[in-house]
Amino acid sequence: MRDLIAAILLSIFLYFFAWQPFQDELNANKSLLIQNIVHNSLSQASVTTGYFTTSDLLSIQAEVANDLGYPTSEVTVIGTTTPQTRGGLLSLTISVPTSLTFVHIPSTEVVPITQSETAMSEVLQ
């Protein structure tokens, strides 16, 4: 009986160590996707308008939510909403929660995946 209990406990830990690299790879790919969206959105805003409108931020939020399968309420998008002329700084930050946990046990200490970038505006006004 003691051997059976030990085998069950060891199998749980082996399952965790076999599953963890897969979770890390998924989170890394999500982070890369968010980084690309931040970079492309910031590049476009720095050349065209010099700021993010509310509709721009909502469309970025919807794009991230659609690409990663999150509800839009869980995606946080913060960007510069005041017009910036040439040389002014634009920033954009996107954050989503980490959805993968060990054996689907909910955790209260989930660290979000966050990507942020700052660029100079190129708009002449």
Residue 7 counted as domain residue: no
Span 48-104, pLDDT tens digits: 999 999 999 999 999 999 999 899 999 999 999 999 889 899 999 999 988 665 555
Which residue, among 120, 42, 124, has the nearest Cα to 87 in the 3D structure?
120
20's tokens: 């963890």
Range of the domain at 100: 22-120
pTM (whole model) above 0.85: no
Residue 62 counted as domain residue: yes
Check residue 27 and give its pLDDT: 87
Domain total in the chain = 1
Residue 68 counted as domain residue: yes
Which residue, among 88, 101, 96, has the nearest Cα to 116 in the 3D structure?
96
Residue 110 counted as domain residue: yes
Span 3-50, pLDDT tens digits: 888 888 888 777 777 777 788 888 899 999 999 999 999 999 999 999
